[in-house]
Amino acid sequence: MSIAKKIYVLKDFLSLKMGLALQNQLFEKAIEENNKKIWVSILNSNDRAKICYAKNGFKKIGIHDFQIGNENFEFTAMAKLL
């Protein structure tokens, strides 16, 4: 089953490693629900997030665009087998 979820950590709280705790809870829930893979979509300019996900076993699987009005945003898609 594929369920879209979004998790964001405000910049002021990044040093508290809340993102890692949220990510670990998400992994547990995904495994509990028999998911085989999890993927994330990261704004290309967010190098810190891409590095963090790579350190946690995610591999780049592609890029995609998302347009809001006249603005186009480019994202990196990364996935991890559970």
Is position 53 within any domain? yes
| pLDDT 10s digits, 27-81 | 898 899 899 999 899 999 999 889 989 998 999 999 999 898 999 999 999 999 9
Is position 39 within any domain? yes
Environment class of residue 55 by beta-carbon count within 10 Å: exposed (0-12), middle (13-18) or buried (19+)?
A: exposed
Is position 34 within any domain? yes
Is position 37 within any domain? yes
Question: Which CATH number goes with the domain that contains 77?
Answer: 3.40.630.30
Is position 24 within any domain? yes
Q: Which residue has the tokens 């028999």?
A: 34
pLDDT at 2: 61
pLDDT at 46: 92
Number of folded domains that form the chain: 1
pLDDT at 4: 61
Is position 56 within any domain? yes
Q: Which domain holds residue 63?
A: 11-81
Is position 4 within any domain? no
